[in-house]
Amino acid sequence: MQIEIPTTPATFEGSSTSVRQWLSVIAVAVSAFAFVTAEFLPVGLLPQIAHDLGVSTGVAGLMVTTPGVMAAIFAPTLIVSAGRMDRRYVFLLLTAVLLVANVVCAVAASLAVMLVGRALLGAALGGFWTLATAAAPRLVQARDAAKATATILTGVTCATVIGVPLGTFIASFASWRLSFAATAGLVSLALLAQAFLVPSLPSASALRITDFKTLLRRPHTRLSMMMVGFVFGAHFSTYTYIAPLLEHDFSLSVITLLLFGFGLIGFFSNALMSMVVSDHLKKSVAAMVLLLLGALSSMLLLEHSTIGETTGMLLWGVAFGALPLCFSVWIQRSTTDLPEAGSAMFVSIIQVAIAVGSAVGGTIVDRAGVHADFTLGLGLALLGLVTLQRLAALERPAKASSFNPTCDASPD
């Protein structure tokens, strides 16, 4: 079944987004929930999976690294290969691959088989996020583009609130395999939601390799991607190994509650940020990166303090609940002429940050401990803040000069 609704935003401010259009956005948000739950399910289960598969915690971190590598490769590759194929059908295909990936992980008897499932997940993930962030403005009227993006990203925070902690909870009384099986059931629901609610999304033109080259020639785009890479690297080099850090001071049930609190406060952070990000984008990005710095610092300096670590987790949740939305809007505004290319690059750099961050973090955890890993995360967050300052300096002379339509678009 297919619902035909307008697929391009209106060009006038007075039009309002229909209920059917919002339902299509919610369907994509449900899919985002399923993808993020599947991607980060191992974070809360890392010690148990490592034990059962007979590997170290750092090696088990490859379950996070592998999808990141695959997603970074497939984000631009798949969207180019799709050509002018209706994006609705691409959505459905990618979600079906995700379903298969979770089944493989649920029955994996070795790390090698587990990584095959995680690689399938990564391939689907890269294409999904490229399409999701680029399609959001097409599903609603022009004035609701930022809200549509925020709604889809709400699926990310909901996965952190419900999906990842629920997986940890299921593992606490059953097994981590049942957590993956339950996630496969969730993906099935997401697939049905897409089939019934997502409209036809024809592509006016096929994406070309030269589109990526065009964006990479722009200093603003290059610096923007560096900023995103540093900040996401700071998050995932540390968050991937949060369970080994917390298990010294908290039981598995309390860790589940902390992950729930992390996601819940992130959910509200994302909702509140959607109200202000359009008018105060640079300030929003700066505030959230500074908050991430504060959170990582508290986790580092107040290690083994239950109050300190709890506070750090909640501050961390506020920061990361808002950062994906802030960065997504940033990239949308600075690549308005090539939205799918910009989205593909955005997804690729995030997945590279996840892959490299989790891999390097795992090596540090195995050789020097979690404390050293959080020091790395703190340094990467500082680099992200420095890059944001360079972007602000780059924009000042651009604003002072005359308008040139080939120049980089300023996010503000």
pLDDT tens figures, 37-79: 888 788 778 888 888 888 887 788 888 888 878 888 887 787 7
Instruction: State percent of the chain over pLDDT 70.
Output: 90
> Considering the domain boundaries, does residue 186 fall inside one?
yes
374: its two tokens: 């959080």
**What average pLDDT does the segment 167-181 reach?**
83
Q: Look at phi and psi of residue 337 and say left if phi exceeds 0, alpha if psi is from -120 to 50, else beta.
A: alpha
> How high is the pLDDT of residue 412?
58
**Which residue range(s) make up the domain with 168?**
19-399
For 350-376, letters b (16+ CB in 10 Å) and e give bbbbbbbbbbbbbebbeeeebeebbeb
Q: What is the mean pLDDT of residues 174-189?
A: 89
Residue % of the chain over a pLDDT of 90 = 20
The pLDDT value recorded for residue 337 is 79
- Let me know if residue 185 belongs to a domain: yes
Classify residue 279 by burial, with Cβ atoms within 10 Å: 0-12, 13-18, 19+.
Answer: exposed
In a domain, 34, yes or no: yes
Q: What is the pLDDT of residues 343-370, one digit of tens each?
A: 888 888 887 887 788 888 888 888 888 8
Residue 2 lies in a domain: no
Q: Is residue 12 part of a domain?
A: no
The whole-chain average pLDDT of the chain stands at: 82
As for how many domains the chain has, the answer is 1
State residue 329's pLDDT score: 86
Q: State residue 411's pLDDT score.
A: 60
What is the length of the chain?
Answer: 412
Q: Is 410 within a domain?
A: no
Per-residue pLDDT, averaged over 159-187, amounts to: 82
Low-confidence winner among 91-105, 126-140, 389-403 (lowest mean pLDDT): 389-403
Q: How far is CA 6 from CA 3, 126, 128, 207, in A?
A: 10, 26, 21, 22
Q: Which two tokens stand for residue 302?
A: 């107040």
In a domain, 411, yes or no: no
Average pLDDT over residues 146-158: 78
Is 82:205 a contact under the CB 8 Å cutoff? no
Question: Ranked by mean pLDDT, which of 31-40, 99-108, 334-343, 391-400 comes out on top?
Answer: 99-108
pTM higher than the cut 0.85: no
Per-residue confidence (pLDDT) for residue 403, from 0 to 100: 46
Are residues 60 and 53 in contact, defined by beta-carbon separation less than 8 angstroms? Answer: yes
Q: Which residues contact 278 (CB under 8 A, 6 or more apart)?
A: 146, 329
pLDDT at 225: 92
The tokens describing 357, both together, are: 């961050």
Rounded distance between C-alpha atoms, residue 325 and residue 157, angstroms: 11
399 band by pLDDT with thresholds 50, 70 and 90 = low
Q: Is residue 169 part of a domain?
A: yes
> Would you say residue 1 has pLDDT above 80?
no
Q: Which residues contact 315 (CB under 8 A, 6 or more apart)?
A: 291, 294, 295, 298
Q: Is 2's pLDDT higher than 70?
A: no
Q: Which residues lie closer than 8 Å to 202 by C-beta, 6 or more apart? A: 7, 84, 86, 87
- For residue range 9-45, list pLDDT tens digits in order: 433 444 787 888 888 888 888 888 888 888 878 877 8
**Is residue 291 within 8 Å of 319, Cβ to Cβ?**
yes
- pLDDT band of residue 204 (cuts 50, 70, 90) is low
Tell me the pLDDT tens digit for each residue of 246-304.
Answer: 877 787 778 878 888 887 888 888 888 888 888 888 999 999 999 999 999 988 888 77
Buried b (16+ CB within 10 A) or exposed e, 227-264: bbbbbbbbbbbbbbbbbbbbeeebebeebbebbbbbbb
Overall average pLDDT of the 174-200 stretch: 88
* CATH code of 59's domain: 1.20.1250.20
